């Protein structure tokens, strides 16, 4: 009452101080209530909450960020041109998982594309300004300098996939080895024996692991592995066509194709058709990703599903953990910082 309070600005947004005056308490107490501190009595808390509601108080994020040195925002960095972002279902699934998990929190998600050099320049600037508390890095290539930049700036980050078996950053990957193996086992179970592999880009660790799984699947089934029957595409439809043509030359009597992505499988399908082979009667075909393409292909494509959405959720969990750990110089817990989620074969008419 005695406190005649803040200068009589009107029209502007109410501040902490004004809320405090209205509730008849000090600034510190309001701050405690806003931030959910337990050391506030129930009566006081109620009074403050009433004042907040009456005044329609909303904290000023900039002031909070300045004082507390955090932004309550994290970035999803896509080191690809926007085109790919929209073209590949991978990103939309990932975004859905991330968004869902994040909606439980107060954190804000920023989407940042870094396809061109120019965009990467901006991104570097952005990160240097510490405008986010953490970063989710999807689709990183082995030689990308981004992870290093991030750790140099001491910004918590989590990547999807791994750059190698010895990944240092916290990461969430799917079991590419298991996925590749499951595909081959399935083909063998269906009586196929001349199974070729249309691989992905070999500088992508996940693609390598799919090859490893393919090999082991063949060996376990008692079949020999012929290196010539593993041909890398580049994850594109055109690459799939080229690789498929090559495979047909090398092994005209093949009876099954395991492709490292649905898109490449689509390319392979065209070439198989053109060569007069029927799917699945003459040749069984399996893709990877279980994308919309797989469902809409004729015949519908058997494909290995990665739990992308779930991976997105897991990445957020890891990242929030990293961020929290870094706050009060707590000794970093030894929880798992590398997650591998299972892949699953979705059987359709093509195999």
User: Which segment (44-52, 118-126, 141-149, 221-229) binds a copy of itself by CB under 8 A?
Assistant: 118-126
Whose tokens are 């808390």? That residue is: 45
Ramachandran angles phi, psi of 79, nearest 5°: -80, 55
Binding mask 26-65 for DNA (x = CB under 7 A): xxxx-xx-xx--xxxx-xxx-----------x-xx--xx-
Q: Residue ranges of the alpha helices (H) in the chain? A: 16-23, 27-34, 42-55, 61-68, 82-87, 89-102, 117-128, 146-152, 176-189, 205-220, 237-250, 262-274, 292-296, 308-326
**HSE value, Cβ hemisphere, 13 Å, CA-based, for 34:** 21
Q: Among positive and negative, which fits the CA dihedral 321, 326, 328, 329? A: positive
Query: Which partner, a copy of itself, DNA, none, binds residue 16 by CB below 5 to 8 Å per kind?
Result: DNA
Q: How far is the CB of 1 from DNA (least distance, A)?
A: 12
Q: Among positive and negative, which fits the CA dihedral 52, 55, 56, 57? A: negative
User: Which segment (45-53, 117-125, 169-177, 198-206) binds a copy of itself by CB under 8 A?
Assistant: 117-125
Looking at residues 54 to 83 of the shown chain, list those that interact with a copy of itself (rule: CB under 8 A). 56, 58-63, 65-66, 71, 82-83
What DSSP character marks residue 326? H
Query: Which partner, DNA, a copy of itself, none, binds residue 28 by CB below 5 to 8 Å per kind?
Result: DNA
Q: Considering the rule CB under 7 A, would residue 7 count as an interface residue with DNA?
A: yes
Closest by CA to 77, choosing from 310, 306, 315, is 315
Query: Which partner, DNA, a copy of itself, none, binds residue 35 by CB below 5 to 8 Å per kind?
Result: DNA
Q: How far is the CB of 57 from DNA (least distance, A)?
A: 7
Q: Considering the rule CB under 7 A, would residue 338 count as an interface residue with DNA?
A: no
Binding mask 21-60 for a copy of itself (x = CB under 8 A): -----------------------------------x-xxx
State the chain's maximal CA–CA distance in angstroms.
94
User: Which segment (24-32, 77-85, 216-224, 240-248) binds DNA by CB under 7 A?
Assistant: 24-32
- DSSP SS3 for 116: coil
Closest by CA to 319, choosing from 150, 147, 159, is 159
Residue number with CB closer to DNA (47 or 283): 47
Cβ neighbours for 208, distance < 8 A, ≥ 6 positions apart: 202
User: Which segment (1-9, 120-128, 255-263, 340-348) binds a copy of itself by CB under 8 A?
Assistant: 120-128
Cβ neighbours for 101, distance < 8 A, ≥ 6 positions apart: 312, 313, 316, 317
Query: Cα–Cα distances in Å, from 207 out to 103, 161, 246, 250?
Result: 32, 10, 19, 22
Q: How many residues bind DNA (CB under 7 A)?
A: 32
Determine which residue in the list 53, 66, 111, 128 makes contact with DNA, applying CB under 7 A: 66
Query: Which partner, a copy of itself, DNA, none, binds residue 40 by CB below 5 to 8 Å per kind?
Result: DNA
Q: How far is the CB of 134 from DNA (least distance, A)?
A: 16
Closest by CA to 269, choosing from 290, 300, 292, is 300
Q: Considering the rule CB under 8 A, would residue 126 count as an interface residue with a copy of itself?
A: yes
Applying CB under 8 A, which residues contact a copy of itself?
A: 13, 56, 58-63, 65-66, 71, 82-83, 85-86, 89, 91-92, 95-96, 99, 103, 108, 110-111, 113, 118-119, 122, 125-126, 128-131
């Amino acid at each position: 009452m005695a406190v005649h309070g803040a200068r009589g600005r009107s029209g502007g947004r109410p501040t902490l101080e004004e809320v405090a005056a209205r509730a008849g308490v000090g600034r510190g107490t309001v701050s405690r209530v806003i931030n959910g501190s337990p050391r506030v009595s129930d009566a006081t808390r109620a009074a403050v909450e009433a004042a907040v509601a009456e005044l329609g108080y909303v904290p000023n994020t900039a002031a909070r960020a300045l004082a507390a040195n955090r932004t309550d925002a994290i970035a999803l960095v896509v080191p690809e041109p926007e085109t790919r972002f929209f073209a590949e279902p991978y990103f939309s699934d990932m975004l859905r998982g991330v968004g869902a998990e994040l909606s439980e929190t107060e954190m804000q998600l920023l989407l940042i594309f870094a396809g061109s050099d120019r965009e990467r320049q901006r991104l570097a600037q952005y990160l240097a300004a510490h405008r986010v508390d953490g970063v989710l890095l999807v689709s990183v290539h082995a030689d990308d300098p981004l992870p290093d930049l991030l750790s140099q700036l001491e910004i918590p980050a989590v990547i999807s996939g791994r750059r190698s078996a010895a990944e240092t950053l916290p990461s969430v990957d799917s079991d590419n080895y298991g996925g590749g193996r499951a595909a081959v086992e399935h083909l063998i179970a269906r009586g196929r024996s001349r199974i070729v592999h249309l691989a992905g880009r070999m500088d992508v660790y996940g693609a390598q692991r799919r090859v490893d799984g393919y090999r082991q699947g063949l060996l376990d089934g008692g079949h020999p592995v012929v290196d010539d029957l593993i041909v890398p595409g580049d994850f594109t439809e055109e690459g799939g066509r080229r690789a498929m043509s090559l495979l047909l030359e090398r092994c005209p009597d093949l009876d099954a194709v395991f492709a490292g992505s649905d898109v490449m499988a689509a390319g392979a399908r065209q070439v198989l058709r053109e060569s007069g082979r029927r799917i699945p009667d003459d040749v069984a075909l399996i893709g990877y990703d279980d994308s919309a393409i797989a469902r809409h292909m004729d015949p519908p494509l058997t494909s290995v599903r990665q739990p992308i959405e779930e991976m997105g959720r897991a990445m957020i969990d890891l990242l929030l953990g990293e961020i929290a750990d870094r706050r009060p110089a707590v000794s970093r817990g030894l929880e798992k910082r590398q997650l591998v989620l299972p892949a699953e074969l979705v059987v359709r008419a093509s195999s």
